[in-house]
Amino acid sequence: MRAPDRSTFSLAEAFDPSANPIEKRVNEASHPPGAFLVKLNREYVEKPWGRTLLPPMFDPPAGKRIGEIWFTSDDDQPLLVKYIFTSEKLSIQVHPSDGEARARGLRSGKAECWYILDAEPNAVLGLGLTRQITGQELRLAALDGSIERLIHWHPVRAGDFILVPPGTIHAIGAGIALLEFQQNADVTYRLYDYGRPRELHLDDGVAVAEKKPFDLSSIRAVRRGAHQSLVNSGPFRLISGTQDVFGSASRWIMPITGRVRSDEDVAEAGDVLLAHAGEVVRYEEAWTLTGVSA
């Protein structure tokens, strides 16, 4: 695949839908140790369901099956940006709310949202259930595998945006590349993992799960180049647009097209810029997703 012209760079156009269909992380520092971080570091995470071929701007390590790219700094931040690349289905899982997480001795729960960058034909997301059930029914379905038939598999395409509140039973299907913006909490309760030899968390998962259908109004198409409010309640806010409208707050700026610049830091598609309150960020033919902590 020919490398794109970065002067008119579009993230979605870089994805190769024919990409080849363990947890280990490889860190790529974008600043020397101790330097003030604005452009966030990439951390490559190997997954059994990941891909060996990623768009070229991610410069992935050769021969690794990368499922996620995390964007991190030396400081502990309340929010986290990930890119996710799938060649197989991810586990059926659920995250707790803040209150449920704190009751279990954790710092916070996890709300998250997804912007679909690329989706192969017939790609699907699992969101909620096809009908309301009891906790015991959910547990039995997770144990015997019938949860695969209970979950609502919703078709997706590039440009879709989905808000996934805590408590939502969900799974990302194969053949999808997406950008995830979430609370920075490592708390996932797996309900079912297709026979992979990984731990399940049925007691906690059943306890926090919404055992009912998903509100499909939480799925919307995002028009490229438009200014839209995507998340306006909960632990974070997220907008799309061509201007830096959160200048009075620390914000995570995720270019989808074009580039943004803050002093010497330049971020293009595939990068994330963490701009602190009051910092001036210039948009150069850029359309971005921008998030702030609530």
DSSP SS3 for 51: strand
3-state secondary structure string across the chain: CCCCCHHHCECHHHCCCCCCCCCEEEEECCCCCCCCCCECEEEEEEEEEEECCCCHHHCCCCCCCEEEEEEECCCCCCEEEEEEECCCCCCEEECCCHHHHHHCCCCCCCCEEEEEEEECCCCEEEEEECCCCCHHHHHHHHHHCCHHHHEEEEECCCCEEEEECCCCCEEECCCEEEEEEEECCCCCEEEECCCCCCCCCHHHHHHHCCCCECCHHHEEECCCCCCEEEECCCCEEEEEECCCCCCCCCEEEEEEEEEEEECCEEEECCCCEEECCCCCCEEEEEEEEEEEEC
DSSP SS3 for 284: strand
How many residues appear in the chain?
294
**Residue in 42, 65, 139, 190 annotated catalytic:** 190
Give the DSSP H or E segment for 172.
Answer: strand 170-172
> Is 190 part of the annotated catalytic residue set?
yes
To which residue do tokens 């009751």 refer? 103
> Distance between CA atoms of 106 and 108, rounded to whole angstroms?
6
CB atoms within 10 A of CB 152: 17
Residues with catalytic annotation? 190
